Amino acid sequence: MSITDSDPEDAITKEEIAGTAPAPRPGSAGVTTSKKRNAFAELMGVKPEKVSGPPTLASTRGGPSIHRTFRDNLGFYTAAPENFPQSGEDRRIIYYNDDFVAIYDLYPKSTVHTLLLPRSPRSRLHPFDAFEDPEFLASVQAETGKLKRLVAKELQRRYGRFSAQEKQREAVLDGDVELEDGAPLPEGRDWEKELLVGIHAHPSMNDLHVHVLSRDMVSECMKHRRHYESFNTPFLVDVADFPLAADDPRRHPGRAGYLNKDLRCWRCGKNFGNQFKKLKDHLSTEFEMWKKE
């Protein structure tokens, strides 16, 4: 198989794997943009700093070189996150520390779509194998919780003013209602419940990555039924579900046929069969209703 060919169980296209598909700016998911960027050129333009001695992270072995495949591109972020934009409209890095890097997905499938990348030798294993290590699993689960809170705050920032559940909180923030002395700010909507979180049972990229994204599934990059099915069937495995039992059917996603099921709206349950375009049009309407909940 060519390094740019898609595996039959891949949830993304070969162009997305190679990074040659047009990529929107991080803040414009769900909005049609006129200016497109070549994501592969963006990655190859990054030159990680040279380090003395042998590399300590499996995901950065050898650095960017001809020995890497396109499926290794996430390793650029864990190798040198400081070399990617961390502010402005081209922002790619959300935050990083010694153990993790959080980034915006180059090809978001929702209005907010982030990835958590562990900076560990275990990140080169399939998640099912990597999460057999209790200490590593616990660290990923804890850091995923941190990223979930950040993404939830971003959803509140973007959509809070539209939400009925946020009405009282927004009234206080806008100065229309004054709180009694010592009274806490109303919490409003639980935006963490509006997130999808997990790994794909058959990852398309070689470095372990956890998806944390908004529930809406509205984005110009959501172009194929597999894009949708991969986040709305058991193909997406929540990190909270690990460790998995040996007989868990999610260990065999191809056998289970998750990416070939009827397309159903995540919000209302309407069955669109194999009519992806109709589903996508429908999701735009559901998005507006979802924001108002």
Estimate to the nearest angstrom the gap between the alpha carbon of 239 and the chain centroid.
Answer: 13
Number of neighbours of residue 181 by Cβ within 10 angstroms: 5
pLDDT confidence of residue 53? 34
Mean pLDDT, rounded, for 177-189: 88
pLDDT confidence of residue 193? 97
pLDDT confidence of residue 5? 55
Classify the phi-psi angles of 182: left when phi > 0, otherwise alpha if psi is within -120 to 50, otherwise beta.
left
At 67, the pLDDT band (50, 70, 90 cuts) reads low
**Backbone torsions φ then ψ of 128, nearest 5 degrees:** -60, -35
More confident residue, 97 or 9: 97
User: Whole-angstrom Cα distance, residue 65 to residue 246?
Assistant: 37
Is the per-residue pLDDT at 4 higher than 90? no
pLDDT confidence of residue 102? 98
Is the per-residue pLDDT at 62 higher than 50? no
pLDDT confidence of residue 27? 61
Q: Give 61-69 contacts, CB < 8 A, sequence gap 24+.
A: 69/3, 69/206
Residue type, 267: R
Q: Among 7-11, 105-109, 275-279, name the one with the lowest average pLDDT.
A: 7-11
Contact, 100 vs 118, CB < 8 A? yes
The pLDDT tens digits for 119-158 are 999 999 999 999 999 999 999 999 999 999 999 999 999 9
pLDDT confidence of residue 51? 34
Q: Any idea which residue has 């595996």 for tokens?
A: 7
pLDDT confidence of residue 278? 98
Number of neighbours of residue 268 by Cβ within 10 angstroms: 10
Residue type, 161: R
pLDDT confidence of residue 40? 40
Number of neighbours of residue 215 by Cβ within 10 angstroms: 21
DSSP, residue by residue, 202-259: S-SSSS--EEEEETT---TT--SHHHHHHHHSTTEE-GGGPSPPTT-GGG-HHHHTGG
Estimate to the nearest angstrom the gap between the alpha carbon of 151 and the chain centroid.
Answer: 10
Number of residues that this document lists for the chain = 293
Contact, 143 vs 98, CB < 8 A? no
- pLDDT averaged over every residue in the chain: 86
Helix (H) or strand (E) holding 37: strand 37-38
Cis bond before residue 22 (omega within 30° of 0): no
Token pair recorded at residue 46 = 């990054």
* Nearest of 7, 35, 87 to residue 220 by alpha carbon: 35
**Backbone torsions φ then ψ of 57, nearest 5 degrees:** -110, 130
More confident residue, 32 or 187: 187
pLDDT confidence of residue 2? 44
pTM for the model stands at: 0.82
